[in-house]
Structure 1
Amino acid sequence: MKSSSRLNPLIIGDIEIEHPFLLAPMAGVTDLPYRLLCKEMGAGLLYTEMVSAKGMYYNSPNTGPLLAKEEWERPIAAQIFGSEPELMADMAVRVQEMGFDLIDINMGCPVPKIVNNGDGSALMKDPVLAGKIIKAMADRLSVPVTVKIRKGFDDEHVNAVEMAKIAEQSGAAAVAVHGRTREQYYSGKADWDIIRQVKEAVSIPVIGNGDINSPLDAEAMLRETGCDGFMIARGAKGNPWIFKELCHYFDTGELMPRPEIEEIIQMILRHARMMIEYKGEYIGIREMRKHVSWYTHGLAGAAKLRDQVNHAESIGELEAIIRNNGASSVDK
C-alpha cells in the first residue's frame, strides 16, 4: 500500500519542523538517552519529561537531570506543569534561558497526585485559569509557548475546543490534543474526531495525539482530522524506529519492514550503554528493565527474557541475557 499524502513542514512560531513527527513528553521515558535514539531515527521535535514549576522554584534535585539537553537535540521543547500563572511564567523564563526552543504546558497528565494538586489535566476543569497561565507565559517569553490538552476531563465535560480557543487567544503558538479524557487515562480508543473539531476551530497548528502506532495510523489521522503534526507517545516506547518508518512512508509512499531481531538487540545494548554513561550502572541497568520489556514485546520468549533482565545487575549480565534470548528467538 502506498501513501498518497505529502506533509507540509510543521511551523510553530518561528520554528520550522521538516518532518512533523513529535516524540511526546513521557515521564520515565523521554530522558536524554532515549531522545537521542529517536532523533537519529527522524523525530522532528523532542520533548523533555514533564518538570514541576514548583520543583524548579524550590531547587529540587530532581529537576536538573530532567532538563539536561544537548545541542544536537534542537529543536527541543521543555514541558513544565503547575497551576500558578506567575510562578509558571517565572520558571518558564528560567527554562528559556537554558536554551530550549519551545516551552510546553502540561494540561493533560491524568496521574492522581498531579491532578489532586490542581495541575495537569485538572486545568481542563478551569479554562479561565488555564488561559491566565498561558498568557502569563506567552507575555514573558520570546520562544513559542505550546499547550498539551486532552479531549476533556470526563465524558460529561468534553471541552477541548473551548480550551484550544482559549489557548490561541492567550498566546499559544500550537496545541496538542490527546483524544482521550482524563478519566480514560490511556484506555479505550482515542477520539480523533475531537482533534478534527479543534483543527476546524483554531488557526494555530494542531498536533494530533493518541493511537499512532504505525505510518498507516498517522495517515488515517491526517485524513480524518487534517492535523498539522503527530505526537507519538506509547507507539514510541521500545520503538524508536517508528520515526524512521513515518518519515520514509510520507517521503516515498512505501512501508519499511520492521527491524530484525539483531537490530533490536543492537538498539537495546546501545541504549543500555548510553543509560549507564548518563546515569551510572546501578540506576541505568534498573531503568533499562522497562525499556527491554517494551523493545521485546511480542517476541518469542519475551516473558522469560523480562524475568531474567529484572535480575541483571551489570551491562555484562544484561548483554549475555539479551544475546542468549535473541538467539532463541531467531531459532524459533
Structure 2
Amino acid sequence: MRIGPHTIEPRVVLAPMAGVTDKPFRVLCKRLGAGLCVSEMTTSDPRFWNTAKSRHRMDHAGEPAPISVQIAGTVPSVMAEAARHNVTLGAQIIDINMGCPAKKVCNAWAGSALMREPALVARILEAVVAAVDVPVTLKIRTGWAEGHRNALEIARIAEGCGIAALAVHGRTRDQQYKGVAEYDTIAEVKAALSIPVMANGDIDSPQKAAAVLQYTGCDAILVGRAAQGRPWIFREIAHYLSTGELLPEPPLEEVRDILLGHLAGLHAFYGEESGVRIARKHLGWYAKDRPENGAFRAVVNRAESAGEQMLLTRRYFDALIAGEPPALSAAA
C-alpha cells in the first residue's frame, strides 16, 4: 500500500489512541513490525501548542519514517495552520481525526461529531490538503448512530478533496468501543473508492486480520487496543499475511526485555516522575493475562522511582521465567 510517496509495508498500522500511541510506543511498535504508526491526537488550537502534553505529542526526533501525525479540530483555517505547523516539526503524513467518539471531543463538534456536517467536512479537508505538500489521510467511523451510517458519503467527499488514504472504524460514534465491529460498511466504502482504504475495529489476531482484509477488500488494517501490552502483534500479523503461518508466542525473556526497554523509553521521554506514572498502565497491559496480574499491579504501582519500577518489573518476570511464583509481597 502506498500513501503518497510512502510505501506502507507491512500493511499493518498502529491506530492512533490518545494517551497510548506516544513516541516511545510508536517507536517500539515500528520496531516490532508495524508498517505505519499514527500519533495520538494533537490539538489544532495554537493556544495549547506549548503545553507539556502538546510538546510531547509533537516530538518526532529520531522516529522512524514515515511519520504520521493526527490533528483534530473544527475550523478549516485553524486545521490548515495546524497541519503546516506539524509538517515543520517533522510530520510526513497528516491524519485528520473524524473518528474519535470521546464526549469531550464530540461536544466540541470535533472527532466523529463532524460526520454530522458533510459540508464542514469538505471545507476542512480542502483546507488541509491545500495547506501542505505531504499526503493527508482521514479516519472516520461508519456514522454517527445506528440510523445514521453515512461513511460512504463522507468517504466520497474525502476522495474528491484529495485525501490520500482513508481509515474506517467499523462502529458508529454512539457505539463507542462497545458491541462488535461490522465490516459491511467498510467493504462498501472500499468498493466505491479508488484511494487506499484501511479497516479498523476488533482486529486482535493474525487470523482476524486476514479475514477482515479478505472480507472488505481493504488495502491495510489498523490495530488499536489489541496492541496494548502486546506490541509484537504487528510482526505476528505481518508474518501470517505473508506466509499463512502463525508465529509462536514470544518467550518470557523477550517479553521482559521488550517491557524493560519500553519503560526505559518512557522514563527518558517524559522524565522520571511523569514516566513512572505513565508506565503504570502499560505494566498492567503487559501482565493482564497473568493470574497474578492484580497483585503485580498493586505492588508495582507503588514504585515512585524509575529504578524501583524497573527492579520490581525485572524481579516479576525473572520469577516467571524461573517457574517460581513472583514474590510480590516481598518485593514491595
Q: TM-score range by the shorter chain?
A: over 0.9
The aligned runs of 1:106-185 (5 Å cut-off) are: 106-185=97-176
The residue aligned with 1:6 is: none
Deviation at 1:53, TM superposition (A): 0.3
**Range with bigger deviation, 32-41 or 253-262:** 253-262
User: Cα deviations across residues 159-184 of structure 1 (Å, max 9, x unaligned)?
Assistant: 11111111111111111000011111
Distance 1:258 1:90, change over 3 A: same
The residue aligned with 2:209 is: 218
Where structure 1 has 5 or more consecutive residues not aligned to the other structure, the ranges are 1-9
Deviation at 1:260, TM superposition (A): 2.2
- Indicate which of 35, 49, 53 corresponds to 1:59: 49
Deviation at 1:57, TM superposition (A): 4.8
The residue aligned with 1:5 is: none
Any idea what SS the aligned residue of 1:155 has?
A: coil
The aligned runs of 1:196-211 (5 Å cut-off) are: 196-211=187-202
Deviation at 1:97, TM superposition (A): 2.1
User: Cα deviations across residues 182-202 of structure 1 (Å, max 9, x unaligned)?
Assistant: 111111111111110110111
Any idea what SS the aligned residue of 2:230 has?
A: coil
The question of whether the paired residues in 2 share the 8 Å contact of 1:296 and 1:302 is answered with yes
Deviation at 1:64, TM superposition (A): 1.6
**Does 2:243 correspond to 1:248?**
no
Where structure 2 has 5 or more consecutive residues not aligned to the other structure, the ranges are 326-332
- Indicate which of 268, 292, 309 corresponds to 1:301: 292
The residue aligned with 1:269 is: 260
User: Cα deviations across residues 239-297 of structure 1 (Å, max 9, x unaligned)?
Assistant: 11011112221222211011222222221111111111111111111111000111111
The share of aligned pairs that are identical, in percent, is 44
Distance in 2 separating the partners of 1:269 and 1:299? 17
Deviation at 1:300, TM superposition (A): 2.5
Residue identity matched to 2:28: L
Any idea what SS the aligned residue of 1:80 has?
A: strand
Deviation at 1:42, TM superposition (A): 1.5
Residue identity matched to 2:32: M
Alignment TM-score, normalising by the size of structure 1:
0.93
Indicate the structure whose relative CO is greater, using CA pairs within 8 Å and at least 6 residues apart: 1
Deviation at 1:18, TM superposition (A): 2.2
Q: CA RMSD in A?
A: 1.4
Any idea what SS the aligned residue of 1:297 has?
A: coil
**Does 2:311 correspond to 1:320?**
yes
Deviation at 1:49, TM superposition (A): 1.0
User: Cα deviations across residues 27-75 of structure 1 (Å, max 9, x unaligned)?
Assistant: 1111111111111111111111100101x35534132210101344101
Report how many residues are paired.
322
Deviation at 1:331, TM superposition (A): 3.2
Residue identity matched to 2:324: D
Distance 1:199 1:319, change over 3 A: same
Distance in 2 separating the partners of 1:110 and 1:203? 27
**Does 2:29 correspond to 1:46?**
no
Distance in 2 separating the partners of 1:188 and 1:118? 24
Any idea what SS the aligned residue of 1:183 has?
A: helix
**Does 2:324 correspond to 1:331?**
yes
